[in-house]
Amino acid sequence: MRLGVISDTHGFLRPEVFAVFEEVDHILHAGDIGAWDVMLALEALAPVTAVWGNGDPPDIQARVPPVAALQLDGFDIVVTHGHDLPDGQGGSPTPARLVAAFPRAEIIVYGHTHRPLLELVNRTVTVMNPGGAGQARFNLKPSVGIMELEPGIPPRARVVPLLPE
């Protein structure tokens, strides 16, 4: 199974996303959707599991949960924006805090930071932040993620930049 992983669109869906997600089976959106049109466009590509983020308006918060737990190809997956799990010093969520908050998850997808991250925690949990896919912010280039799931082997994932280097 091939997953498209996206976050922090903030109401703007780059055309490059359609090419990168062309053959995905499912899309995970880790919050700060920004506008429901983004969800409609993604749903035209594949089924979408989405959560709301701290930047989402009340109408989006009413349509999607703050955290989603699902199972795909035998993997227990949690999707969260992560803004409610700061590092304890007012900063961003960390993979260790995410794993502590969701101890049964095998894959955790989060957003909020706009910083791409792909990390293996405790040799068993894959934690991924695809970066921000909307307008470039914080001097970070927009990106999304692709994750391949196959029962019995660890997930394979990569971050895909949306603008040329």
What CATH architecture does domain 2-161 belong to?
Answer: 4-Layer Sandwich (3.60)
pLDDT one-digit tens code per residue, 23-65: 999 999 999 999 999 999 999 999 999 999 999 999 999 999 9
Of the two residues 138 and 24, the one the predictor is more confident about is: 24
pLDDT in tens, 13-33: 999 999 999 999 999 999 999
Would you list the domain boundaries of the chain? 2-161
pLDDT at 138 over 90: no
Among the listed residues 68, 70, 83, the one whose alpha carbon sits nearest the alpha carbon of residue 32? 83
Q: 163 or 70, which is more confident?
A: 70
Rounded to whole angstroms, how far apart are CA atoms 132 and 140?
8
Asked whether the beta carbons of 134 and 142 are under 8 A apart, the reply is yes
DSSP 17: H
Q: Say if residues 57 and 37 touch (Cβ distance below 8 Å).
A: no
Q: Could you please report the per-residue DSSP string of 66-83? A: SEEEEEETTEEEEEE--T
Determine the pLDDT at residue 163.
Answer: 74
Per the confidence metrics, is the pTM higher than 0.85? Answer: yes
Q: How confident is the model at residue 94, as a pLDDT?
A: 87
Q: Does residue 89 register a pLDDT over 60?
A: no
